């Protein structure tokens, strides 16, 4: 799906991508990780045909710059920072659907699944939405169209746990039909989503590793927690993750998206002194996780 | 009486086909129009446009309030005096406004990540660049034209004679001036990588053109015995000077108000010849600058 040979990109004297070689097969789920300035965004922009470069790059056999629109028809892109567009949400969806040769309806459907009814904000300027709402719409535009490659830069950073779970389900539905390239500066944020991790440093690939035992994207874990004493902050955090209190508020039960397990444990870390019991279990095949 | 239901084909209703779930094809011309309408929409929501539209509407209203329509100074009658004053003010305001707002908007969009996102969608670069230019042309030209049209409408309503030939000429001259400075601004935006640089370059360009107006630097050059050919060439190359000469020559056939270079130009071209030149040259200059900008835009990094 993606092939880069001796890919080099410089800005003035600064070489951001340095003779980078990369091959990604169709259907792979790649985590593109690295520190700030490692070259992740530059690589993405080369794939999107937005940067000129030295070397060779192809996406589905097409050269991104020379055959830009052909390549972009195959790519769904979610940027790290939402653009400050003043246009209303409806206009943005209509524009995106039209240039992609599709329809807004599937995008609206994805947005609704993520918890944002686009018609409720149809006439609102995109820039006036909250960070999470913007992210949901950008994901909806990328996933609400037919594409062979999903390129996402920190896609779930602004999403609440419920929306993240739906997002993982949406990615799971695309498994097999779309290659995924998910960029993040932290490997633990995306490790559960991918089958392969590529780390960049100073414009070069410094790690290219398969992920063993990668969880299925749509895995849901049953969760049970008991606190040793009541805490408003801990209760609020657990409720935010979709857990509900039982037996007077010290016990909480619910489900957690499988790819979010590490993030969930990270969120629990600050309340570790209050934890009397913590159970995370994967339901057996025939069981309903809820 | 029974109502006959009227059905409008989906293809004629923008956006409806998309919402109905029908996939659509997106040709280059359709994309260009989409980008243009997007730019018009973004501009209408921007604060600069409100200021811009209010400014030109305010100018016309002010000229009416001060009774310039009825002035008979220098022999002007009816609406002519107002139009002459209006076009002079347009020459002072429109170029710098178009230059600064366009470079701020285009270079600002690039800096803010708008290009990164919208150009990740399969929209052609030609449709993107020329669509934005066309949309912006509508946004900068139509308020100026509407303000003039409103003056003509009010004059007709009030029984004041409207010089339609002059109105047409000024409308065409303003279109040429808008296209010229819009093209220059698009060219600057494509070359400059940051808002600050683009804005500085736009302001410097405007300053140079102002300095090379007939009555300022050209007058000095003539006093200093610079060859006449050089002076005339500079005057002909300066779109502001060309605009100014064309706008005033109908009222000042001897060109006492315009300065010596304009007199030579008028003498060489003749009235009709210079009018054609004054419409064609700024338009072509703007298009050439925009084409150069497009060439640079296509070849360089987009965001």
Cβ-based interface (< 8 Å): residues of B facing A: 14-15, 17-26, 30-31, 34, 38, 41-42, 45-46, 112-125, 299-303
Give the one of A87, A98, A100 whose C-beta lies nearest to B42's C-beta: A87
Per-residue confidence (pLDDT) for residue B89, from 0 to 100: 86
Per-residue confidence (pLDDT) for residue B22, from 0 to 100: 45
Query: How many CB atoms are located within 10 Å of the residue B212 CB?
Result: 19
Beta bridge partners of A58: A3
Q: Provide the shortest C-alpha distance from residue A140 to chain B (in Å).
A: 14
A153 → chain B, closest CA residue: B117
Per-residue confidence (pLDDT) for residue B9, from 0 to 100: 38
Query: Mutating which of B105, B122, B302 best tests the A interface, going by the most A Cβ atoms within 10 A?
Result: B122
pLDDT digits (tens, 9 = 90+) for A252-278: 999 888 888 878 888 888 888 888 889
With CB atoms and an 8 Å threshold, state whether A101 touches B24: yes
Q: Taking a C-beta distance cutoff of 8 angstroms, is the pair B143, B56 a contact?
A: yes
Name chain A contacts of B120, Cβ cutoff 8 Å.
48, 50, 72, 75, 77, 79
Distance, CA of B160 to CA of B245 (rounded, Å) = 26
Instruction: Return the domain boundaries, chain A.
Output: 2-210, 220-281
Per-residue confidence (pLDDT) for residue A261, from 0 to 100: 82
Is residue A27 classed as helix, strand or coil in its secondary structure? coil
In this complex, is the C-beta atom of A53 within 8 Å of any C-beta atom belonging to chain B? Answer: no
Q: Provide the shortest C-alpha distance from residue A106 to chain B (in Å).
A: 8
Per-residue confidence (pLDDT) for residue B257, from 0 to 100: 56
Segments in chain A below pLDDT 50 = none
Distance, CA of A77 to CA of B81 (rounded, Å) = 56
In this complex, is the C-beta atom of A87 within 8 Å of any C-beta atom belonging to chain B? Answer: yes
Pairing of strands A204-210, A220-227: unpaired
Counting one residue from chain A and one from chain B, the pairs whose CB atoms sit within 8 A come to 112
Q: Per residue of chain B (303 residues), give pLDDT as tens.
A: 344 443 433 433 344 444 444 445 458 888 999 999 999 988 888 888 888 888 888 887 787 777 665 555 544 456 777 888 888 888 888 999 999 999 988 888 888 889 999 999 999 999 999 999 999 999 999 998 998 888 888 888 888 888 888 889 999 999 999 999 999 999 999 998 789 999 999 999 999 998 887 667 667 777 777 777 787 788 889 999 889 888 877 666 565 555 666 667 777 778 888 889 999 999 999 999 999 999 999 998 988
The CATH T-level fold of domain A2-210 is: Rossmann fold (3.40.50)
Q: Provide the shortest C-alpha distance from residue B16 to chain A (in Å).
A: 9
With CB atoms and an 8 Å threshold, state whether B123 touches A69: yes
Is residue A176 classed as helix, strand or coil in its secondary structure? coil
Distance, CA of A248 to CA of B268 (rounded, Å) = 97
Per CATH, the number for A220-281 is 3.30.70
pLDDT digits (tens, 9 = 90+) for A90-114: 999 999 999 998 899 999 999 999 9
In this complex, is the C-beta atom of A73 within 8 Å of any C-beta atom belonging to chain B? Answer: yes
Name chain A contacts of B18, Cβ cutoff 8 Å.
93-94, 97-98, 102-105
Per-residue confidence (pLDDT) for residue B78, from 0 to 100: 65
Name chain B contacts of A138, Cβ cutoff 8 Å.
117
Instruction: Return the domain boundaries, chain B.
Output: 27-194, 212-281
Torsion, Cα A243 A248 A250 A253, to 10 degrees, reads: -30
Q: Which sign, positive or negative, has the C-alpha torsion B226, B229, B234, B239?
A: positive
B22 → chain A, closest CA residue: A103
Is residue B191 classed as helix, strand or coil in its secondary structure? helix
What percentage of chain A reaches a pLDDT higher than 90?
49
Give the one of B24, B117, B299 whose C-beta lies nearest to A98's C-beta: B24
Give the one of B18, B116, B117 whose C-beta lies nearest to A94's C-beta: B18
Tell which residue, A77, A217, A73, A81, has the closest CA to residue A152.
Answer: A77
């Amino acid at each position: 799906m993606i092939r880069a040979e001796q890919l080099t990109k410089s800005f003035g004297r600064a070489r951001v991508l340095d003779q980078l070689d990369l091959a990604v097969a169709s259907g792979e789920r790649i985590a593109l990780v690295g520190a700030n300035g490692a070259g992740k965004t530059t690589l993405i922009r080369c794939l999107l045909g937005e940067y000129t470069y030295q070397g060779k790059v192809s996406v589905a056999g097409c050269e991104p710059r020379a055959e830009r629109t052909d390549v972009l028809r195959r790519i769904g892109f979610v940027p790290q920072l939402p653009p400050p567009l003043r246009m209303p949400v409806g206009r943005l969806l209509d524009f995106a659907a039209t240039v992609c040769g599709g329809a807004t309806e599937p995008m609206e459907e994805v947005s609704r699944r993520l918890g944002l009814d686009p018609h409720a904000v149809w006439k609102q300027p995109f820039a006036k939405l909250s960070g999470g709402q913007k992210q949901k719409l950008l994901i909806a535009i990328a996933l609400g169209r037919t594409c062979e490659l999903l390129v996402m830069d920190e896609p779930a950073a602004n999403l609440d746990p419920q929306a993240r779970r739906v997002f993982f389900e949406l990615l799971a539905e695309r498994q097999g039909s779309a290659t995924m390239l998910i960029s993040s500066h932290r490997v633990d944020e995306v490790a559960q989503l991918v089958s392969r991790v590529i780390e960049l440093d100073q414009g070069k690939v410094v790690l290219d590793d398969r992920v063993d035992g990668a969880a299925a994207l749509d895995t849901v874990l049953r969760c049970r927690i008991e606190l040793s004493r009541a805490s408003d902050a801990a209760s609020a955090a657990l409720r935010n993750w979709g857990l509900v209190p039982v037996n007077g508020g010290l016990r909480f039960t619910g489900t957690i998206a499988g790819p979010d397990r590490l993030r969930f444990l990270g969120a629990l870390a600050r309340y570790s002194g209050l934890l009397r019991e913590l159970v995370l279990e994967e339901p057996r095949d025939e069981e309903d996780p809820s | 009486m029974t109502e006959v239901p009227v059905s409008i084909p989906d293809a004629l209703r923008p956006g409806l086909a998309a919402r109905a779930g029908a996939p659509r094809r997106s040709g280059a011309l359709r994309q260009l129009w989409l980008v243009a309408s997007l730019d018009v929409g973004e501009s209408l929501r921007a604060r600069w446009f409100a200021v811009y539209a209010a400014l030109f509407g305010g100018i016309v209203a002010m000229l009416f309030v001060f009774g310039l329509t009825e002035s008979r100074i220098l022999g002007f009658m009816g609406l002519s005096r107002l139009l002459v004053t209006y076009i002079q003010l347009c020459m002072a305001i429109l170029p710098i406004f178009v230059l600064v707002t366009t470079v701020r908007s285009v270079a600002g969009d690039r800096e803010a990540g708008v290009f990164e996102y919208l150009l990740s969608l399969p929209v052609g670069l030609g449709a993107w660049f020329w669509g934005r230019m066309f949309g912006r042309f509508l946004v900068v030209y139509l308020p100026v034209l509407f303000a003039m049209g409103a003056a003509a409408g009010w004059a007709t309503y009030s029984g004041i004679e409207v010089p339609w030939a002059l109105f047409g000429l000024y409308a065409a001259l303003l279109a040429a001036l808008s296209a010229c400075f819009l093209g220059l601004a698009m060219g600057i935006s494509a070359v400059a990588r940051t808002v600050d640089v683009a804005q500085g370059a736009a302001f410097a360009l405007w300053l140079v053109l102002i300095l090379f107006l007939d009555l300022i630097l050209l007058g000095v050059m003539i006093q200093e015995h610079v060859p006449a050919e050089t002076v005339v060439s500079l005057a002909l190359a300066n779109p502001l000077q060309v605009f100014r000469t064309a706008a005033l020559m109908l009222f000042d056939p001897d060109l006492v108000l315009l300065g010596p270079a304009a007199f030579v130009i008028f003498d060489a071209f003749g009235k009709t010849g210079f009018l054609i030149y004054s419409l064609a040259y700024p338009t072509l200059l703007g298009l050439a600058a925009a084409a150069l900008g497009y060439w640079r835009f296509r070849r360089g990094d987009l965001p």
